[in-house]
Amino acid sequence: MMTTTEKRATRSLALIFAFRMLGLFMIYPVFALYADHYTGATPFLVGLGFGIYGLTQACLQIPFGMLSDRIGRKTMITLGLILFALGSVIAALAHSIEGIIIGRAIQGSGAVGSVIIALVADLTKEENRTKSMAVIGMTIGLAFMAAMILGPMLSGANGLSGLFWLTAVMAIAGIAVLHISVPTPTKSVFHRESEPVPSQFKNMLKNRELLRLDAGIMILHMILSAGFFAVPVALVRYAGLSQQHQWYVYLPALVAAFFIMLPFIIIAEKKRKMKPVFLGAILTLAISQFLLFFLHTSAVMMGILILIFMTAFTLLEATLPSMISKIAPAGMKGTAMGIYSTSQFLGIFFGGVIGGYMFGHHDIVGVFFACGCFGLVWFAIAFGMQKPPHLATHLVNIAGIQTADINSLTEKLKAFAGVADVVVVAEEGVAYLKVDNAIVDKDALLEFAKG
């Protein structure tokens, strides 16, 4: 059971994530429609303006996390949100595409996602941490859904400028929530399940199964970023929907996609059919793009294909982190997720740039064709993957363990049914386990830790 402090910390940090994600995602469905009106705009520069956020985020998210271990979580989150607000103000005041690019780059430099996750780890017990992370994950998903609706609705009044001003306000609100509602941890401890270990990077980059997933999240967000150059334009040209009314399509598509993908998540996890479900979703994603290449002139078909795309996207977005958790060795999840997140942000950057280039040279059809090809490349990369082990990360508090007792404790933990791997880190007071949730007795592990 989570304590009152843990619940308050989780709610407050999830709210900060929501403010930040709303600000980022609201521009997705409208950026291509408005940004080409700025002085000096070309499709390529619009694409650069869209994607540059991902490049600066990719470069700085790991350094931000490492700095937070030295100078404090709240200090780095405050700095990141100030940079995010500053970039938003610069973009809101911009009259040229160059100003938008600068503003978006500064927005991305406020790379606080990994620091927020580390602060969650500081403020929650090992046995409650997974619940807190799940709440934050759901918050991000809800923020994405809300942004797809609010972006088109709110942009009608003041265009991109209004959305950037709103983003700046939400960033400042996030700082207020951080200092008013988020408890200050008694001490900040390094957490291997939520923070990268530099010495592990080499091993993670040699793991072919993890690299397949890193390539996958990069391609998934390349397709998402590039696709939002073509889809809003197609909805205007062929569905007759103005910018502020495009949520008529996104809202039902996102809601329906959520319910359609749930049975596939259950089949993948409960029936242990992760690989076929995963490959099927990738192939569906690619096919939806090729069908948009041919059928984008029909408003009805556009709506159906957007639903299919959103279903595949949400399914893949949910299963990829789960697969990282299953494959990453014990004590290395934070490092694996750091590389994974960097790949995701690079995908946003490359998708924006490639989408802008293809739109400028080949219009809508060029973007859809490129996205379909990206999907087929991903399918080829993923096809040879091994069947993911159905293991999850589980933490056991071992505060006070002596270095001399590590080997003995490791063997005792490995003796529990359902425990596949164990890494004991005495200085953190934590044992990192890879367990089969269908077999392991977590209550017994908890009692063992107390003893």
The full set of domain ranges for the chain reads 1-195, 211-389, 392-450
What is the third-level CATH fold of 392-450?
A: Alpha-Beta Plaits (3.30.70)
Q: To which residue do tokens 């103000």 refer? A: 89
Helix (H, G, I), strand (E, B) or coil at 429: coil
156-190 burial, b for 16+ CB within 10 Å, e for fewer?
A: eeebbbebbbbbbebbeebbebbeeebeebeebeb
Rounded to an integer, what distance in angstroms lies between the CA atom of residue 308 and that of residue 288?
7
Dihedral sign computed on CA atoms, order 63, 65, 69, 73:
positive
84-93 burial, b for 16+ CB within 10 Å, e for fewer?
A: bbbbbbbbbe
For the domain bounded by 1-195, which CATH number is listed? 1.20.1250.20
Do the two domains 211-389 and 392-450 of this chain adopt the same fold? no
Rounded to an integer, what distance in angstroms lies between the CA atom of residue 201 and that of residue 450?
33
Measured between its terminal Cα atoms, the distance across the chain in Å is 19
- CB-side neighbour CA atoms (13 Å) of 417: 6
Rounded to an integer, what distance in angstroms lies between the CA atom of residue 116 and that of residue 178?
10
> How many residues would you count in the chain?
451
Mention every residue, 6+ apart, whose C-beta is less than 8 A from residue 434.
329, 330, 391, 392, 393, 394, 419, 420, 421, 422
Give the closest residue to 18 by CA, choosing from 143, 133, 131, 113: 143
Helix (H, G, I), strand (E, B) or coil at 360: helix
With the CA atoms of 316, 317, 322 and 328 taken in that order, what torsion angle do they form, in degrees rounded to the nearest 10?
100
Q: pTM (2 decimals)?
A: 0.94
Q: What is the pLDDT of residue 451?
A: 66
| Residue numbers in the chain where pLDDT is lower than 50 | none
220-230 burial, b for 16+ CB within 10 Å, e for fewer?
A: bbbbbbbbbbb
Superfamily holding 211-389: MFS general substrate transporter like domains (1.20.1250.20)
Rounded to an integer, what distance in angstroms lies between the CA atom of residue 104 and that of residue 144?
18
Q: CA separation (Å) from 384 to 279, 290, 327, 399, 438?
A: 10, 23, 15, 41, 26
> Which residues sit opposite 392 in a β-bridge?
435
Q: CA separation (Å) from 31 to 152, 279, 384?
A: 10, 31, 37
